[in-house]
Amino acid sequence: MFDAISGFFLDLYEKTGLNFNIFYDEFEYDRVLAGAVTSLELMAWVICLSIVLGVIGASLQHMGSRTLKGLVEAYVQVFRNTPPMVQLLFFYFGLGSITPQVDMGGYNEPLISSFAWAVIGLSVFGAAYNVEIFRSGIESVPRSTLEASESLCLTKWQTNLHIVLPLAIRVSLPSLTANVISLAKTTSLVYVISVPEMTYVLNQIWSDSMNVPEMIFVLFLFYGIVIALIGAVFSLLERKLRIPGFGQ
């Protein structure tokens, strides 16, 4: 891959002055590749974990006790109404300052790495939105459908699993897609806790090589493509789950 493109970009640099050094300098190329992989890994973790936490939160609100409902509601409101950047700083620096260090033979490593804090912080942030999305999905299942299930002697769990969940997921999917995309974009924010993902890495490269416009172009392109791909995956999912005659 590198060998195939490096000639072109070196040529481009010499002829036009457009310095895409990440495509002809092997060291920078590897750095960017690692940054892209970190970004994608972070997105995958955060999307999955925030959905799992969202489902758990919405289920607790659906079935839990009053206290539990209140706690989930408080969590949702706190994380929706405070800056995600400060949340990350609070997790990484604040809570990070009281989590234990592990002796790695000579030097100390924090038990929870900055990448792990990024996953935790962003998942907890994104899940606050997902709880509300899934909750409105659950509430969209008509009372009468639940009565029908009750009349057929399904237990509460069977009803939740076989009736409420499949319907709620389908109703929630469009809002979930929007939130997942927004969350994928928000991963760039972990720059503030120095996770070497795409934004961080390209920022370092343009500081070293003074090729800001070119690297910013790459950044736009990277997020544009990733967002388009995530959007495509979710609209495929939406099509797969579509039921003839239901919704729309």
Binding site for another protein (CB under 8 A): 77-78, 80-87, 89-90, 93-95, 97-98, 142, 144-145, 147-154, 158, 162-163, 166-167, 170, 181, 185-189, 191-192, 199, 203, 206, 212-213, 216, 219-220, 223-224, 227-228, 243-246
Q: Minimum distance from CB of 61 to another protein (Å)?
A: 16
Looking at beta carbons only, is 64 or 231 nearer to another protein? 231
Looking at beta carbons only, is 10 or 73 nearer to another protein? 73
Whole-number Cα distances in Å, 233 to 37, 180, 219, 226, 229: 18, 11, 21, 11, 6
The tokens describing 129, both together, are 């939105």
Looking at beta carbons only, is 131 or 167 nearer to another protein? 167
CB atoms within 10 A of CB 193: 20
75 touches 57 (CB < 8 A): yes
Q: State the DSSP H helix or E strand holding residue 108, giving kind and residue range, or none if neither.
A: strand 108-110
List the beta bridge partners of residue 109. 102
Looking at beta carbons only, is 78 or 102 nearer to another protein? 78
Looking at beta carbons only, is 8 or 145 nearer to another protein? 145
DSSP secondary structure, 40-74, as one string? HHHHHHHHHHHHHHHHHHHHHHHHS-HHHHHHHHH
Q: Minimum distance from CB of 97 to another protein (Å)?
A: 4
